[in-house]
Structure 1
Amino acid sequence: MPPESASELYKILFATAVEFIRSQDQDLNQPSRMNFDRVRAIRTSDHRHHFGHNYCVSTKPLFQGARSVEDFLAHLNAMLPKIDTWDTDITDIAVDEPRKMCVVRASYFMKPFEVNEPVENDLVWWLWMEDGGKKVKKAMEFIDPMATGRIRELMMTGGK
């Protein structure tokens, strides 16, 4: 929760950051187990998704370039059939009001099918909001390359 003394803009930016992360929660009421309309709703129509760290991205074509909302959803949709469960724990949120930007640290506990224990992917998101602060226009996702590699390995081997 934001501090009680926070300004209205701070509270809006904070809530937008939380909804951005929560929009990707597992939703068992959806055929894909993720509510893609919810993912779209928190992003602007011209939203761009980027990956970081620069060296990691330079060595992995999958992470290169900016993605539209639909490109990002296609990326997620390719993973979802291989992931049994995923839970998210938001660790911290820093809000920069003048720049309408938030930095979010979150752990994604991803468990591919036929795996007993989830793998923790500790991520940092940089989020830039549109002028009103209620939608994200740009996101940069900094992944844990070791955890991402392990999750990919488990998805491809069925947990073996």
Structure 2
Amino acid sequence: MPPSPLYLKLLSLTKAHAFPKDASQILSIRSPDAHHAWGHNFLVARNRGLQDYMDNDVFATHMKRSGLYLDSSDAKTHDLVVDEHERKSTIRMSYFLTPKGSNETVEHDLIWMLKFTDDEEVEKVLIKESVEFIDAAAGARMGKLIREHVGELEVDMTGSIVLKEALEA
């Protein structure tokens, strides 16, 4: 039996979210009231740069600002699951990121959990929530390399690069 149109739409949105061409593309597949958050709870509770929910504007700013510090050389999907009935998907993937000025590429192995709108018309379905479970050690390593090659991060920077390695803290 072929996949349903809804399943194909959720799969397409999940892949587009994981491998966006640019910030405008990722915003085009998110509902106007979508929000982004970070996981894991223990990590988030102890790191100010991970604590706030982001609306689409703040999420777009986060992506653009991260791009000031990081170059992406590649990305790879490890696992992708779509739950059509619950309108959710999960993708485990790796982004291979090189901090500006560094020759070291860091594999950021993370998990995205996405929830989708309840629109009846399949073509109108969009992402309404994203939660990014980050690799804290990879984020801390990238942050250290950025500070070594570029200098201190902006005070209100968000995301995994705000984390510090255990010996730095």
TM-score range, shorter chain: 0.7 to 0.9
Alpha-carbon distance in 2 for matches of 1:12, 1:85:
26
TM-score by length of 1: 0.84
Matched, 1:36 2:23: yes
Cα distance in 1 between the residues matched to 2:78 and 2:105: 17
The residue that corresponds to 2:75 in the other structure is: 88
Letter in 1 for 2:19: R
SS in 2 for 1:110: strand
Asked if 1:56 is matched to 2:43, the reply is yes
Q: Deviations over 1:80-123 (max 9, x none)?
A: 11213342112211111111000011101000122223100101
Q: Does 1:144 align with 2:131?
A: no
1:154 alignment counterpart: 145
**78-87 vs 143-152, which deviates more?**
78-87
Q: Structure 1 regions of 5+ residues with no counterpart? A: 26-34
Q: Give distance in 2, aligned partners of 1:53 and 1:85.
A: 23
**Root mean square deviation, CA, Å:** 1.8
Where structure 2 has 5 or more consecutive residues not aligned to the other structure, the ranges are 151-169
User: What is aligned with 1:104?
Assistant: 91
Which of 43, 55, 70 lines up with 1:68 in the alignment?
55
Tell me the TM-score normalised to structure 2 length. 0.80
CA distance in 2, matches of 1:56, 1:102: 23
- Give the count of matched residue pairs: 147
Aligned to 2:114: 127
- Give SS of 2:54's match: coil
